Every structure is written in structure tokens, then in C-alpha cells.
Amino acid sequence: MTEKSAIYREVVDANAAYAADFGDKGNLALPPARGFAILTCMDARLDPAKYAGLAEGDAHVIRNAGGRASDDAIRSLVISHKLLGTREWFVIHHTDCGMELFNGPTIATLLEQSRATAAFDGTIWTNPQHEGGSTEGWHIAWLNFKDLAQSVRDDVSRIRNHPLTPETIPVHGFIYDVKNGQLVPVEADAST
Ligand code: ZN
């Protein structure tokens, strides 16, 4: 058996401490008690439980790179409402998002050369290795963006106008500021 990493042990130890103080959370119901869902970025600086005041059992949190309204994010939101009763949705992107630092051809070209982690000098991405790549990156919609507020408006609009989204569900757009922890509302497009 291979030796477990330090990170592996940290996660297992942290879980043991959490489970030891689990209290009555084993009695929580499956549907979110407060009836809402958040779609947000996977960025490690964002903690939706803290920035939106959530406890276990309160709300659905759907995360991906950018907090984008991908087909899979919409799949989760539809399940969230249709089967689990959420009635209000939030789309929360954030300042200094990594999704603003590349475009589709950039990451596809990097991956074609190597799957190892690339380096970024503030302007250009480069590969430290030049072997073991794949062309599969050209077949993925990376959903990067250049205009942060517009990316929120686009995703709110896509979710709002999706045929599987009921008209009764409010879809709110926000930008989370990684410098001060504040959520700033983004007004939807006038047409939506
Ligand atoms: Zn991000």
C-alpha cells in the first residue's frame, strides 16, 4: 500500500473531530430547510456557508470553476427545485476570478502539450513540461470570461430563460469581493 499524503491525514483527522461533535445533525431533512440554492465559484477563498450565513441543512450550494450556468449547473438547479423544493436561486461570481486569466485556445494549447500544472507570470501561461499532453481540451467549453459583471448577467439570464426554470423563481446575481467579503448585487439585463 502506498503511503498516504499529509493532506490525506489532515482531512481524515479533521473529519474525525467534526464527526465527534456532530450533535443532532443526523436528524436533518434532505430538502434544504431554508428553500434556496446558490451557484458559485470553486475558488478556495469563497466560503458560501460563511458569506451567506448557512448551516448544515439550510441550502444547496452548487460550485464549479467560475460559478457558471453550465448544463450541469442547470441540471443541479432543476433538481434542487423540482425534487427538493428550493424557491429562490443566487448566482454569485467574484472579483479576481481565475476564469478571467485564460481563454479556451490558451488552456487547450497548454493541455495539448502537457497535463502538468502550468505557470502564470501575470501575463502569459507557460508549460514547465513538454510531454504527456492531450487534444481533449479542444472539446471542452471552458466557460471563461473577460467581463465579470457581464458573466453574472449572462448566467442569470441563461438560468432565468431556461425552459426548465419556473417563472416563479427569483434568480439573483451578485459579485463577491474577495478583498472585503461583501456581496454586491448585479442588476439583470433589462430584457430578462
Ligand atoms: Zn473564481
- With 0.85 as the threshold, say if the pTM is over it: yes
pLDDT (tens digit per residue) in 35-88: 999 999 999 999 999 999 999 999 999 999 999 999 999 999 999 999 999 999
Q: E strands along the chain, which residues? A: 36-41, 59-64, 88-94, 119-120, 125-126, 171-176, 183-186
- Cα-to-centroid distance, 149 and ligand 1 (Å): 13
pLDDT (tens digit per residue) in 152-173: 999 999 999 999 999 999 999 9
- Cα-to-centroid distance, 121 and ligand 1 (Å): 18
- Cα-to-centroid distance, 147 and ligand 1 (Å): 13
- Cα-to-centroid distance, 38 and ligand 1 (Å): 14
- Cα-to-centroid distance, 29 and ligand 1 (Å): 30
**pLDDT at position 174, please?**
98
- Cα-to-centroid distance, 63 and ligand 1 (Å): 10
Q: For domain 6-97+145-185, is the CATH number 3.40.1050.10?
A: yes
**pLDDT at position 188, please?**
82
pLDDT (tens digit per residue) in 23-36: 999 999 999 999 99
Name the residue ranges covered by the structural domains of the chain: 6-97+145-185, 103-141
Type of residue at 58: D
